[in-house]
Structure 1
Amino acid sequence: MVALINRHEDKAILLRDKFQFDCKVMQDYKELLHEEDIDLVSICTPPQMHAEIASDLLSAGKHVLVEKPMAMSLEECDQMLAAAAESGCILSVVGQNRFHEPNWNLKHILDSGLPGKIVHAQVDSYHWRGESYYDLWWRGTWEQEGGGCTLNHGVHHMDMLLWMMGMPQSVQAVMSNTSHPNSEVEDISIAILSYADGSLAQITSSVIHHGEERQMVFQGEHARISSPWKVYASTAKDNGFPERNPALETEIEAYRDGIEPLLYSGFEGQVDNVLTAIENGSHQVLIDGQDGRNVLELITAVYEASITKQPVSLPLAKDNPFYTREGLLAHAPRFNAKTRPALKASEQQ
């Protein structure tokens, strides 16, 4: 660890002392640009600052791991991708849930073809947050947070869905704010994704679900698999009604048991993946900048479909009114006025 940067220096000092880092403390990330002993920078700022910081660091020859969401707009994503391409440096976007064993196994089983073609996916990104969650200065505003639960909570499951099924052909969606009067942004959205092969997927992003149950269920032609783990396979009787297929279930279970376990999970898994790519010079990471952009493109399509109440076709063109941050801000509904005062500067995160 070479340096910790926080505009509130006392916070960086507390972090340094807590983990006993022997490192510098700075208030401005630009002090890093000419530090030759820095290889990788992790960006954990509010999302509206990602594009500028990442682009500057990449252009200075630093590898970057940036928190989700990658940026506030597709235009900003393209700015970051251009900086990465020009510098030849790694741009990785946080998607730590890919490195959790259940999701890792699910991906490998889908790729094996054992469940057959995926015909339907159900993705429940259920969270619960109280009203005070949006009292933080930057949360609950389109200008600062960039969106609500779709962007900042559903992003993880959307990343995994795209990893497992790829980009859809079109999106239909609705969204609302049902329970958070101190927030401009949505606290629930429901999207239906249509794929070129006829498959459908549905994803609910929410901060209003008690219990916070989260799941990904894939219905294949031959079997259903899910995270949390469950497998059920069916064959047809002569009259077309289902009959359980224990032989296929056993085969899928055996395949799952044979998947090599992850050495590190969650954030540790992704950090190890990025460090390994730097160390061996491959620059090949599991989640790169294009993956991060794909997720934001899907989220942008969900917002556009919700706002316009029309199906949205993908990919989104650069002349799309939602391609830029300004375009989204011009069209975004303000469900409520954010009225409660922001926290003191010393309490801001």
Structure 2
Amino acid sequence: MQRIAIIGTGNISHNHIQGYLVFPDRCQIVALVDIYPEKAEEKKRHYGLTDAKIYSSHQDILTDPSIDVFDICTPPYVHAAISVDALNAGKHVLCEKPMAASLQECDAMISASESSGKTLSIIAQNRFTDAFWRLKKVLESNKIGKICHAQVDSFWWRGHSYYDLWWRGTWEKEGGGCTLNHAVHHIDAIQWMLGFPTEVVAITTNVSHDNAEVEDLSAAIFKYATGALTQLTASVVHHGEEQKIVIQGEKARISAPWDKFASIAAPNGFPIDARDTTLENQLEDSYQSVPHLTRTLHTGQIDNFLHALQTNTPPLVDGPQGKRSLELITAIYKSAITRGIVSLPINASDPYYQTGGLVKMAPHFFEKSASVENFANEEAIPLGKDMDKGA
């Protein structure tokens, strides 16, 4: 039985609490921590967590032997500090995305996990969806041949008031805009599927949220050693939030939401009207042969995390995996700010690698024009469109 402390009880904590409650025989939430204790009290009442104690600081429970896991749902700028404290105190850590505010902080978290022997996992809940899980399995079949191009549309929409929350929309507290805090899900997914690129070039802007320092729209291109390209758009200005990943191979195209298309060339190289239905049927069979996941999204990742603790095996998304996503995001920001191509990996001596480096160099598209401590609506955060349609 793993005894869980939820650190930070804002909107995203709903998804974590609901996930743990699915497994009452494997875990119990025993503590709720928030600098606004009334938010923790509300979650305790809402979910009937009668045995959970309320605290205003994670420091109050570091030495509590009755707590096994710190589940961190705070704003990003304190992810590293709390994680390192918890790991050094002998607690396992499941930390919300993004992993940290810098690659240097990621290293500190990974080091604390290694030296303490405790498990560190970073939330990447889109890996725990049928859409991405099955798409990856089809890719691994190599039926579409060499990968040529991927299109990643991380389209979200947030109203103007979204950035009124006191920590959002600032480089110091949130660490970035839509590229870091929304597209991180799709960036993690594409690097999980296609591997790590060698070069990144990008541009960022803010077109619709003049109460935020950070970007609300970015476009990036990743280049791989094979010559393949990924084209990524990150956004919180897209009505409808139509998210997708489309992967073009030499022989066929596949995508999430699931679809497939295999062209046939005429002798002159132009496509004919007929399609390679034999290959398309093989791709469909590969896709459908992958069993549906029993648990998905946060609940699926919590299941994986608890299994890792029970069996003393690595979770699917460990510290190094969490860092890889942040390294790509850091490269996007560096490229946009310097207006140049960024080679990967980023060197540890690079200012953009180090804590505070990005904050010093990042442009302020606007300054915050409003700041509220909390919103009245504290419902669970919507996690985007269902990419499993058509499965």
Normalised to the residue count of structure 1, the TM-score between the two structures is 0.97
Residues 165, 374 of structure 2: 8 Å contact kept = no
Change in Cα spacing, 1:157 to 1:345, as seen in structure 2 (3 Å) is closer
Gaps of 5+ in 2: 1-28, 379-391
SS of 2:225's equivalent?
Answer: coil
Change in Cα spacing, 1:198 to 1:346, as seen in structure 2 (3 Å) is closer
Residues 99, 322 of structure 2: 8 Å contact kept = yes
Change in Cα spacing, 1:53 to 1:347, as seen in structure 2 (3 Å) is farther
Residue 265 of structure 1, aligned match among 296, 301, 319: 296
Q: How does 1:63-102 map to 2 (within 5 A)?
A: 63-102=92-131
Instruction: Tell me how far 1:347 sits from its aligned partner.
Output: 6.5
2:159 alignment partner AA: G
Instruction: Tell me how far 1:242 sits from its aligned partner.
Output: 2.4
Residues 201, 221 of structure 2: 8 Å contact kept = yes
Residues 150, 206 of structure 1: 8 Å contact kept = yes
Deviation string 1:147-183 (CA, Å, 9 cap, x unpaired) is 1100011110000011001110000000101111111
Deviation string 1:28-69 (CA, Å, 9 cap, x unpaired) is 112221122222221000000100000010111111110000
SS of 1:301's equivalent?
Answer: helix
Whole-Å Cα distance in 2 between the matches of residues 344 and 167 of structure 1? Answer: 38
Structure 1 vs Structure 2 CA RMSD? 1.4
Instruction: Tell me how far 1:237 sits from its aligned partner.
Output: 2.7
Whole-Å Cα distance in 2 between the matches of residues 178 and 114 of structure 1? Answer: 41
Q: Which structure's residues are more often helix, by fraction?
A: 1
1:277 alignment partner AA: A
Aligned equivalent of 1:334: 364
2:362 alignment partner AA: A
Residue 171 of structure 1, aligned match among 172, 189, 200: 200
Aligned equivalent of 1:5: 33
Residue 287 of structure 2, aligned match among 256, 261, 268: 256
SS of 1:261's equivalent?
Answer: coil
The percentage of counterpart residues that share the same residue type is: 49
Which range is displaced more, 239-248 or 219-228?
A: 239-248
Gaps of 5+ in 1: none
Whole-Å Cα distance in 2 between the matches of residues 344 and 25 of structure 1? Answer: 19
2:336 alignment partner AA: S
Change in Cα spacing, 1:9 to 1:242, as seen in structure 2 (3 Å) is same
Q: How many residues are aligned here?
A: 347
SS of 1:175's equivalent?
Answer: strand
Q: How does 1:184-333 map to 2 (within 5 A)?
A: 184-243=213-272, 244-282=275-313, 284-333=314-363
SS of 1:202's equivalent?
Answer: strand
Residues 136, 348 of structure 1: 8 Å contact kept = no
Instruction: Tell me how far 1:319 sits from its aligned partner.
Output: 1.1
Residues 47, 71 of structure 1: 8 Å contact kept = yes
Instruction: Tell me how far 1:238 sits from its aligned partner.
Output: 2.1
Alignment of 1:123 onto 2:155 = no
Alignment of 1:62 onto 2:91 = yes
Instruction: Tell me how far 1:241 sits from its aligned partner.
Output: 2.1
Aligned equivalent of 2:169: 140
Instruction: Tell me how far 1:125 sits from its aligned partner.
Output: 0.3
1:63 alignment partner AA: H
Deviation string 1:180-202 (CA, Å, 9 cap, x unpaired) is 11111111000000000100001
Residues 137, 348 of structure 1: 8 Å contact kept = no
Instruction: Tell me how far 1:203 sits from its aligned partner.
Output: 0.3
Instruction: Tell me how far 1:256 sits from its aligned partner.
Output: 1.1
Whole-Å Cα distance in 1 between the matches of residues 289 and 373 of structure 2? Answer: 52
Residues 170, 195 of structure 1: 8 Å contact kept = yes
Whole-Å Cα distance in 2 between the matches of residues 274 and 317 of structure 1? Answer: 30
Change in Cα spacing, 1:296 to 1:239, as seen in structure 2 (3 Å) is same
